[in-house]
A and B are shown apart, each in its own frame.
Chain A
Amino acid sequence: MKKFSMRLIMLMVIVSIVASGCQSSSSGGGSGSEDGIVTINFWAAPNPSQQAFWTDMADKYMKENDKVKIEVSPMPESPSSEAGIQSAIAAGNAPTISENISRGFAAQLAASSAIVPLNEIDGYDELIKSREMKETISTWKFSDDNQYVLPIYSNAMLFGWRIDILNELGFDAPPKTYSEVLEVGKKLKEQDSEKFLWARGDLVKPTWWARWFDFFMVYNAASEGNKFVEGSEFTADDKAGIETLEFFKNLRENDLLLTREATDPFETGQAIMSDIGPWTFPYWADKFPEMKMGENFELSMPPVPDGVDPANAKTFADTKGLSIYASASKEQQQAAFDFVKWVYSNAENDMKWFEETNLPPARDDLSTNDTFKAYFDKNPQLVIYAENIPNAVPPIDNEKTVEVQELIGKEALIPVLNGEKEPKAAWSDMKEAINGELK
């Protein structure tokens, strides 16, 4: 009996080892080439419109190139797409290429040699030229002078203003400087003390990525796009940083911020300013069809400190792109890059992307190229996003992005908003903490 039990246990162990070792053979690793056909795995962002776009592109490309087989699949989200990629790399199942890569995550991947510099692949310069993205991609260069991500889209984050309420208050355009913003705020409170300038619950949350849509929007405008971190150096503009925190302090002291969760505060007029990306418009079309640009809202770049020219304002770029994985063979990497180059050699493909996703393609000529004109005529609210693509600063390219952005919240923004620290002291504490983290 004992013998049988032991045999059965041994058998179970063997079966489970074999089973756990069974992994998809269609990983990005290995040669990926059979009978002269190179197979590449493309992981699309986990949403139907982006998957449909890349599947369509892959089908068209394969019709023209019978030596390449592209398998498009959605990237796993367990629980986030970044975690899915990380697990896939650890398990040896990384794809050849994937989209949905932010600059911060790319820095983490690049630091571990998990992705390859795209600028070292044949055809890179040709792609940048044919897609007209020389200026846009210049801000994407990593501290080691390489390009690890090819940005697909770039949302220059803007502030929306309830122009109908501004008009009631006696203003005919959104404010551009801090003092103008405070003036609007004071008038608003005089008219209705229950209303707020900006309602954003995330302002006091420690979530690292929340800083992209509050702190960095205002800081990038104040500093005219100064780099916050360069390589492993904290290079932020002290003056602009303190002015940014002063601005938040003034908003708090004048009771202009609602730092609690609120349902559609901008749309209902509870707040008259809001950080807005192009993804908002399909939501409005569905839930708030009455929201019309020029009638009840306007879009503008973030306000700047008094004395700074608003024309030089920069903002945060919510942007993601494509990366090619180091675990793929050279042949697969080149094949994947050639596919991308083919997609972006035709502006019509960017147009198709724009139509399907509403995410502005990361091109310098988006607002001037005739291919996109008809679409902008139909969607005038997107014009200002396109115009500001070159003015949008992508996220930090440091592998400690998460830690750095958590420290911005923990040491500076949240204590200032809670009235626990003065802007100067908060900035100094944050700087010291970030320097300690980057060492």
Chain B
Amino acid sequence: MNKSNARLGWLFASPYLIYSLIFFLFPLLWATYLAFTNWNLIAPDYEFVGIQNFIQAFFTDTVRAAFFVTYKFLAMFVPIVVAGALFLAVLIHSLPKFKGLFSVAFFLPYLASGVASAIVVNGILSYNSPFNIWLRGTFGLDINWLGSSLLAPLIIALMMAWKFAGYYALLFVAGLESIPKEIYEASAIDGAVGWKRFWHITLPMLYPSFYTVTILAVGLMFGIFTEPYVLTGGGPDLATHTWQLEIYSQAFERLNAGFGTAIAVINSVVTFGSILVFRKILEKWGAKHGWE
């Protein structure tokens, strides 16, 4: 690369770099600094409290709940959304016509407002909804969907999966489109057809898409806010209390901005660590199938 090309590259990249500096790097540094103070964002004075906020976070039951609840969401959401997105992608890919139209149709839930879809789900699951009246009348089943510690997170995970499956399916469709036909032809000669072909050829060949989708899905679970905020408020018994709900409550309801940012910093470290672990697992799986 010659000098003028490099200069041009820097020049073209500079708007995004400036944007990142203003909206990501400075706030990150500022938040890290705040995490070591007891500032509430409105008082004229505040003190440096060292690592006190971080120690307090480890002894706060709501922070501990947020930690475990996120992994519970992960365990529910990631398999559902990956399987759902893959199913949609295969469905779209196998269509003889109108692939684009169906791709867009399945992508639409991604554009829906979280608040609006939470309100719709709330209506569907309400005690006197036609669905629940039918369940009670036909099977005698009276299910407290959002009042159960097991069902409430599952419903939120399903809702999120509905929203993101279409988006992630696009990534899988791109992956499916990029598998060379020759590989299928060669495998057919070796007797790999139908389910065998899907399991031994298609899935391993989709590794790059799996990698992207899984990492995106894992990262997403550390940032859930709207759905539990609207549907459950973090209950019942903190069963849907996420990191973002805790950060919001501490920083903006209790006005403990210093403590809230300390939790946000812990959240970023946990997110980073978790993504790293998932990356390693995925890379091992990839390496097993020839992806280095």
Interface of A toward B, CB cutoff 8 Å: 1, 4-5, 8, 12-13, 15-16, 19-20, 79-80, 82-83, 86-87, 89-90, 108-109, 111-114, 199, 201, 204-208, 210, 258-263, 265, 268, 270, 399-400, 402-403
Q: B225-250 vs A: 1/0 string, CB under 8 Å?
A: 00000001111101000000000110
Chain B's interface size range is 35 or more
- Is the C-beta of B64 less than 8 angstroms from some C-beta in chain A? no
Shortest Cβ distance from A400 into B: residue:
B254
Distance, CA A80 to CA B248, complexed state (A): 10
Interchain CA distance A199-B6 in the complex, whole Å: 67
Q: Which of B226-283 contact A (CB under 8 A)?
A: 232-236, 238, 248-249, 251-255, 257
Which residues in A have their C-beta under 8 angstroms from that of B83?
none
**Shortest Cβ gap from B60 to chain A (Å):** 12
Contact indicator B18/A16 (Cβ below 8 Å): yes
- How far is the CB of A41 from the nearest CB of chain B, in Å? 17
A52 vs B6: C-alpha distance in the bound complex, in angstroms? 54
Bound-complex Cα distance A103 to B123 (A): 32
Determine the chain B residues whose CB is within 8 A of the CB of A199 once the complex forms.
127
Most chain B CB within a 10 A radius of its CB, from A13, A89, A112 = A112
Taking the closest CB of chain A, its distance from the CB of B32, in whole angstroms, is 16
Chain-A contact segment, one of B35-43, B188-196, B202-210? B35-43
Chain B residue with Cβ nearest A4: B7
9 contacts between A and B (CB under 8 A): A4-B6, A4-B10, A13-B21, A82-B253, A201-B146, A205-B232, A205-B235, A262-B126, A263-B123
Q: Verify A1–B6 contact, CB threshold 8 A.
A: yes
Secondary structure class of chain A's binding surface, majority of residues: helix
> B144 within 8 Å of A by Cβ?
yes
**Residues in B127-151 with C-beta less than 8 Å from chain A:** 127-129, 144, 146-147
Which residues of chain B come closer than 8 Å to A12, judged between CB atoms? Answer: 14, 17-18, 21
Contacts of B17 in A (CB 8 A): 12
**Docked-complex contact A108 and B128, CB < 8 angstroms:** no
The answer to whether B122 has its CB under 8 Å from any CB of chain A is yes
Nearest CB in chain B to that of A13: its residue: B21
B128 engages A79 (CB within 8 Å): no
On whether the beta carbons of B255 and A261 are closer than 8 Å, the reply is no
CA distance A405 to B184 in the complex (A): 63
Kindly state the separation between the CA atoms of A201 and B123 in the bound complex, as whole angstroms: 12
**Closest chain B residue to A207 by CB distance?**
B233
4 additional A-B pairs beyond A83-B251, A268-B128, beta carbons within 8 Å, are A79-B248, A90-B42, A206-B233, A260-B147
B25 to chain A, nearest CB (A): 8
**Measured CA separation A260–B151 after assembly (Å):** 14
> Is the Cβ of B232 less than 8 Å from the Cβ of A20?
no
Interface residue? B44 (CB, 8 A): yes
Task: State in angstroms the CA–CA spacing of A289 and B26 once bound together.
Answer: 54
> Chain A contacts of B248 at CB under 8 A?
79, 83
The yes or no answer to B22 lying at the interface (CB within 8 A) is yes
Indicate whether B125 reaches chain A with its CB closer than 8 angstroms.
Answer: yes
Chain A residues within an 8 Å CB radius of B128? 262-263, 265, 268, 270
**Docked-complex contact A108 and B255, CB < 8 angstroms:** yes
Contact yes or no, B41 A87, CB < 8 A: yes
How far is it, in angstroms, between the C-alpha of A12 and the C-alpha of B14 when the chains are bound? 7
Q: Output the residue of B7, B123, B255 with the most chain A CB within 10 A.
A: B255
Q: 0/1 per residue, B1-24, Cβ < 8 Å to A?
A: 001001100110010011001100
CA distance A114 to B10 in the complex (A): 44
- Distance of A278 Cα from B44 Cα, bound (Å): 39
Which A residues are CB-close (under 8 A) to B238?
206
Give the distance in Å from the alpha carbon of A113 to the alpha carbon of B43 in the complex.
7
Complex CA gap A20/B22 in Å reads 6
Contact residues in A for B232 (Cβ distance below 8 Å):
205
Q: How far is the CA of A403 from the CA of B127 in the complex (A)?
A: 30
Q: Contact: A206 with B235, CB < 8 Å?
A: yes
Least Cβ–Cβ distance between A352 and chain B, in angstroms: 32
Bound-complex Cα distance A112 to B236 (A): 33
Instruction: Find out whether the CB atom of B6 lies under 8 angstroms from the CB atom of A112.
Output: no
Instruction: Please measure, in the bound complex, the distance between the C-alpha atom of A308 and the C-alpha atom of B40, giving whole angstroms.
Output: 43
Chain A nearest CB, measured from B46 CB (Å)? 10
Residue of chain A at shortest CB distance from B39: A90
With a cutoff of 8 Å between Cβ atoms, the chain A residues found around residue B255 in the complex are 86, 108, 112, 399
Give CA–CA (A292, B242) in the complex, Å.
43
Q: A89-B41, A204-B147, A260-B127 are contacts. A15–B233 as well, Cβ < 8 Å?
A: no
Whether B234 pairs with A80 at a CB distance below 8 angstroms is no
Nearest A-chain residue to B1, judged by Cβ: A1
Q: Is the CB of B42 within 8 A of A261?
A: no
A16 cross-chain contacts in B, Cβ below 8 A: 18, 21-22, 26
For residues 166 through 217 of chain B, which have their beta carbon under 8 Å from a beta carbon of chain A? none
Chain A residues near B40 (CB-CB < 8 A): 86, 108, 112
